[in-house]
């Protein structure tokens, strides 16, 4: 959020992750038993960039996300964030450094309200501790009040109507649940936001609004975004750079138009469709 540099839009792909990348992954692999889910992927995200990762089902996209956020440990390779090695760091430490995410399958607490779900996300930054939370001295009450205000502000920022902020998450529309997930991720004040198929289940109108929101988030708050997305319209509209995975390997990377016309990419998608439908 502090960089004054301009976004690295149109930067051509480099096999070596650039020195000044916000996040870089060098030759990262992950195997599950005999299955190589991600194979020697080198990838970087520029400060304040909006980049996408695409590929057929099972290509390794979510597995790659899970390594960036510490949920999975890479079998080999190095991941660094702001020049710091985070390859074997715990997920909560990685969150504290400034990487936040949403999940492909929404993971909200269904029996908590939208507002409470965002407060959970803020908890990582609060100082009260267990004793403080029970005794609630004035300092803690002040902290709680400001956390509450911040949660409301974030939910408003992602476009959740005030009238539904107090509803249980389970009773929200699909699009609104996705919004709450983004607000919860933003509650940890990330400088990098990873979105795993955020438009899944959204209609065209909601998807278009999400595209506008991603740009706003980057422009106003300086947040870099890595997007996994199946909706090509969204990918083509919002991405400064697209990386394509197929069977765990990076098969193409570059500007959206270039990648979309790449024969290997077309083949990966058509081959997959021919094989599964």
Ligand X SMILES: Nc1ncnc2c1ncn2[C@@H]1O[C@H](COP(=O)(O)OP(=O)(O)OP(=O)(O)O)[C@@H](O)[C@H]1O
Query: C-alpha angle 195/11/245, rounded to 5°?
Result: 45
Q: What residues contact residue 23 under an 8 Å CB cut-off, 6+ apart?
A: 44, 45, 68, 79, 80, 81, 82, 99, 192, 224, 226
- Do 29 and 73 contact (CB within 8 A), yes or no? no
- Measured CA to CA in angstroms, residue 188 lies from 92, 124, 192, 220 at distances of 11, 7, 11, 16
What, of ligand X, Mg ion, none, does residue 1 touch, CB below 5 to 8 Å by kind? none
Task: List binders of ligand X among 50-89 (CB under 6 A).
Answer: 55, 57-63
Stretch that binds Mg ion, among 48-56, 99-107, 146-154, 247-255 (CB under 5 A): 99-107
Number of residues that bind ligand X (CB under 6 A): 12
Euclidean distance between CA atoms 97 and 218, whole angstroms: 18
Rounded to the nearest whole angstrom, what is the least distance from the CB of residue 61 to Mg ion in the complex? 5
156, two tokens: 């408003």
Rounded to the nearest whole angstrom, what is the least distance from the CB of residue 68 to Mg ion in the complex? 13
CB nearer to Mg ion: give 60 or 175.
60
- Do 62 and 228 contact (CB within 8 A), yes or no? yes
Residue of closest CB approach to Mg ion:
62
Task: List binders of Mg ion among 129-188 (CB under 5 A).
Answer: none
Task: Write phi, then psi, for 100 (nearest 5 degrees).
Answer: -125, 160
What, of ligand X, Mg ion, none, does residue 37 touch, CB below 5 to 8 Å by kind? ligand X
CB nearer to Mg ion: give 45 or 59.
59
CB nearer to Mg ion: give 257 or 276.
276
CB nearer to ligand X: give 46 or 60.
60
Break the chain down into helix, strand, coil percent, rounded to 5. Answer: 40, 20, 35
- Do 213 and 178 contact (CB within 8 A), yes or no? no
- Under rule CB under 5 A, residue 199 binds Mg ion: no
Among 39, 62, 66, 177, binds Mg ion (CB under 5 A): 62
CB nearer to Mg ion: give 150 or 250.
250
Residues that bind ligand X (CB under 6 A): 32, 35, 37, 55, 57-63, 104
């Amino acid at each position: 959020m502090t960089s004054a540099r301009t976004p690295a839009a149109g930067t051509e792909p480099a096999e070596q992750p650039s020195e000044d990348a916000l996040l870089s992954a060098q030759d990262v692999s992950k195997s599950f038993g005999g299955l190589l889910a991600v194979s020697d992927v080198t990838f970087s995200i520029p400060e304040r960039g909006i980049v996408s990762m695409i590929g057929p089902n099972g290509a390794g996209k979510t597995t790659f996300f899970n390594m960036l956020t510490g949920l999975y440990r890479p079998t080999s390779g190095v991941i660094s964030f702001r020049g710091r090695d985070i390859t074997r760091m715990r997920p909560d430490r990685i969150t504290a450094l400034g990487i936040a995410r949403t999940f492909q399958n929404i993971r909200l607490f269904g029996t908590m309200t939208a507002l409470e779900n965002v407060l959970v996300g803020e908890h990582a930054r609060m100082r009260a501790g267990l004793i403080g939370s029970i005794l609630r001295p004035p300092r803690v009450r002040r902290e709680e009040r400001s956390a509450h205000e911040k949660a409301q502000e974030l939910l408003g920022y992602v476009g959740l109507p005030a009238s539904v902020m107090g509803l249980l998450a389970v009773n929200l529309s699909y699009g609104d649940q996705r919004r709450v997930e983004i607000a919860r991720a933003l509650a940890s004040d990330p400088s990098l936001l990873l979105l795993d198929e955020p438009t899944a289940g959204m209609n065209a109108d909601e998807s278009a609004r999400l595209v506008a929101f991603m740009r706003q988030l980057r422009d106003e708050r300086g947040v870099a975004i890595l997007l996994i997305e199946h909706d090509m319209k969204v990918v083509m509209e919002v991405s400064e750079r697209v990386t394509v995975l197929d069977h765990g390997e990076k098969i193409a990377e570059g500007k959206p138009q270039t990648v979309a016309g790449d024969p290997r990419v077309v083949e990966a998608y058509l081959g997959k469709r021919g094989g599964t439908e």
